[in-house]
Copies of this chain bind each other. A is one copy, B any other.
Amino acid sequence: MAKCRVCRGPAVIDLPRHNAHFCAEHLQQLCRRQVEQAIADHAMLERGDRILVAVSGGKDSLAVWDLLVELGYRADGLYLGLGIGDYSDDSGRYARDFADVRGLHLRTVDLREDHGYDVPTAARATGRVPCSACGLSKRHLFDAAAREGGYDVVVTGHNLDDEAAVLLGNTLRWDVDYLARQLPCLPATDGFPRKVKPLVRLTERETAAWCIVRGIDYQVEECPMAAGNKHLRYKATLNALEAASPGTKAAFYLGFLERMGPLLEGRSAAAVDGLRACARCGAPTTGEVCAFCRLVDVAAAHEPVPVEHLARRPRRAAGTASH
């Protein structure tokens, strides 16, 4: 039987990129240390920060919330009801159960109740791919909630697999603007909160294992609207390279941060200069009315589109950059 590298006790997981097995206790130690290192390396958080965690009900967002609380940070959650049928109903339940059991504060926003639309309807009404309509909604509403709630920082559960897949997509197109912004800590700018990704040094297999050994129930389904998108294809590509050569994924993403990040500094075209307040909602925007308010205009006027009308058809993927 395989033994834990640290204590020689019975192992629960094999991590080829660390060339070692770990027991439940030392897997948790590894996860905590990787998160602490990510936070320290990129100056993500300070002790007194008021933190808002973007909670989806999946393994990554629940793991990052749990880890931050473990590490002594003060963190509330925000769950967005996206209106993606049963998938959203189940996801919301996992998020609420997690918060309830731990006595944590979970805020919720429901797209349909609070803004008159849902993701499938927004996708159909605007002709955007669902991941694009969803990403725009999430960025806007997390930013707005942070602003309104007086939070210093929005935390998301993006893990190493996510970031490496986005990096592969941006690299295959050599999208210098997106590459320059693909950082695990984006500082606050005019009206935008700081945004940080404390799980960038952990793979999704590791965050899933964290949840299992911590007894956290989470949504295990993939979003039905994401099926067949490029992001999942790039993940599969990197998984195949990783299987042939363990460590490839971490070297790719962390090497980018270390060696390309400095070369790309200042290359982002993010137009912070011409920003003003959206005439409708007050969010920073370059236009008269922000992209979110324009989305709401079109989507809320459209008759509701059931998720079954959009899900599981192969489609082109959306961009995934932040800000």
A: which residues have CB within 8 A of B?
171-174, 176, 230, 233, 237, 240-241, 244-245, 248, 251-252, 255-256, 258-260, 263-264, 267
Contact = CB atoms under 8 A, between A and B. Distances in A.
B171 A171 contact: yes
Contacts of A258: 174
Contacts of A172: 241, 248, 251-252
Contacts of A252: 171-174
A237 B230 contact: no
Contact of A255 (B173, B241, B244, B251): B173
Secondary structure call for the A interface: helix
Contacts of A263: 176, 263-264, 267
Given A174-B252, A174-B258, 13 more contacts: A171-B171, A172-B248, A172-B251, A172-B252, A173-B251, A173-B255, A174-B251, A174-B255, A174-B260, A176-B259, A230-B245, A263-B263, A263-B267
A240 B241 contact: no
Contacts of A237: 237, 240-241
Nearest to A248: B172
A171 B251 CA distance: 10
Contacts of A171: 171, 252
Nearest to A233: B244
A230 B171 CA distance: 19
A172 B237 CA distance: 12
Contacts of A244: 233
Contacts of A259: 174, 176
A290 to B, nearest CB: 29
Contacts of A248: 172
Nearest to A174: B255
Nearest to A264: B263
A99 to B, nearest CB: 39
24 contacts: A171-B171, A171-B252, A172-B241, A172-B251, A172-B252, A173-B251, A173-B252, A173-B255, A174-B251, A174-B252, A174-B255, A174-B256, A174-B258, A174-B259, A174-B260, A176-B259, A176-B260, A176-B263, A230-B245, A233-B244, A237-B237, A237-B240, A263-B264, A263-B267
